[in-house]
Every structure is written in structure tokens, then in C-alpha cells.
Chains A and B, each alone.
Chain A
Amino acid sequence: KAGVTQTPRYLIKTRGQQVTLSCSPISGHRSVSWYQQTPGQGLQFLFEYFSETQRNKGNFPGRFSGRQFSNSRSEMNVSTLELGDSALYLCASSLAKGPRNYGYTFGSGTRLTVV
């Protein structure tokens, strides 16, 4: 079966712009989580969605937002981009709420560069 699909793979944006990243989870998976990975901070949790509801949010400013659609696809949005938002953004899907029993399946990520 198809894995977790993230689009686009690479993105270059200018400071102050906004960006939307997309994630399609594995078919049947209802939980989608987002992580930011940077060399300095490592892997940081952004938020988790389950059945269109945000269940958890990490310690990120309000410029970072997300949503999940009825088909479980998810988008995350970053407004007023800053240089420090340059990172690899990873989406992970899971069969149930959170990573409790099965672990996560990650997508290949979206590499965002803010210039």
C-alpha cells in the first residue's frame, strides 16, 4: 500500500511569506502528526490531528497552524515566515490515536528554505 505522501518535497520562500504543506497519510490511518527537524533543535513536535480534531499542540508560535480533512489528509500552514523556520517538516501517520501501539509511519518530508 502507498506510504505517507508529503508535497512538495522542496520549497523556497521569502521571509514574510506564508506556506502550506500537505500530507496524505496511509489509507485507513486517521492520526496525523507533524514534526519540525532542524540541526539545532532536532525533532520537535508541532501538532497531532485525529478525525479532523487537533488533539495536541507543541510549543510553537501561533504562526504555525494545521488542519485535517475528512479523508484524513492534513495540511500545515506557516504564516509570516522567518529565517528560523527553515527546516525539514515531517508528517507521520498512525492507525490509532498517537504512537501508542504501532509506531508512526513517516513521509519523506518537505524541505523548507526561507531566504
Chain B
Amino acid sequence: SQQGEEDPQALSIQEGENATMNCSYKTSINNLQWYRQNSGRGLVHLILIRSNEREKHSGRLRVTLDTSKKSSSLLITASRAADTASYFCATDRTSGSRLTFGEGTQLTVNP
């Protein structure tokens, strides 16, 4: 079973716009990670935010974490057609040493 949910399930935007994806989870975590997956390929690690952090930036990516609400968001600014992919949040729970993935958001950036 999935640890949490992602929203929206699908998002379609124009190049240059910002894309925001949200993730909710259920249990205490050590950290939360975001991954990108291009169609049928492996997952690429984007960013990791620890439970004691509230916000983190990496290039055009901004991740926030609210442990009181058990939620996170991923913002991609100035999106490009190459950002078209599925994006997954994954939680590293305090009770285990595995990642538990959300259902993913399919992002389509139209040129």
C-alpha cells in the first residue's frame, strides 16, 4: 500500500509556467524525497528534505515540508518541455529503512 497521496494526478501546463505538485503522507518520517521518472525508465533522485527542514532549493526546484500537516510540495519554476515526466514523492519512515512512494503526478509541459 502507498504511504501517501499525490495531487494532482495529472498536470498540463505551458512552457515557462510554474508547476506545483503536492504530496501527503501518514507516518513519522526521517526525510522526504522527490523523484522524476521519464516514461518507462528508472527514477531520478531530485531532492531530499529532512524532517527538521522546512524548505529546500535546487536549481529550478523548490521543496517545502510541513511535518505538522504531513505534507510536502514540489515547485518547478519556468518549466520546460524536457520537464515532462512523472514525479513521485517518497518517504523514508522512522520505522524502517525503505522508501514508500506516492502514486505520482504526471506532468506535461507543452512547448
What is A's interface to B at a CB cutoff of 8 Å?
A: 4, 6, 33, 35, 42-43, 45, 48, 55-56, 58, 88, 90, 92, 97-109, 111
Proximity string of chain B (39-70) to chain A, C-beta cutoff 8 Å, 1 when within and 0 when not: 01111110010000000000000000000000
How near does chain A come to B85, taking the closest CB pair, in angstroms? 13
B98 touches A103 (CB 8 A): no
Q: How many A-B Cβ pairs are below 8 Å?
A: 67
B44 touches A106 (CB 8 A): yes
With both beta carbons as reference points, the residue of chain A lying nearest to B34 in the complex is identified as A103
Number of interface residues of B (CB under 8 A): 24
B96 touches A56 (CB 8 A): yes
Q: Does B31 make an interface contact (CB < 8 A)?
A: yes
B100 touches A45 (CB 8 A): yes
A106 touches B43 (CB 8 A): yes
In the bound assembly, the distance between CA atoms of A111 and B90 in angstroms comes to 22
**Contact residue among A88, A90, A97, A111 (Cβ-Cβ distance under 8 Å from B97):** A97
A104 touches B97 (CB 8 A): no
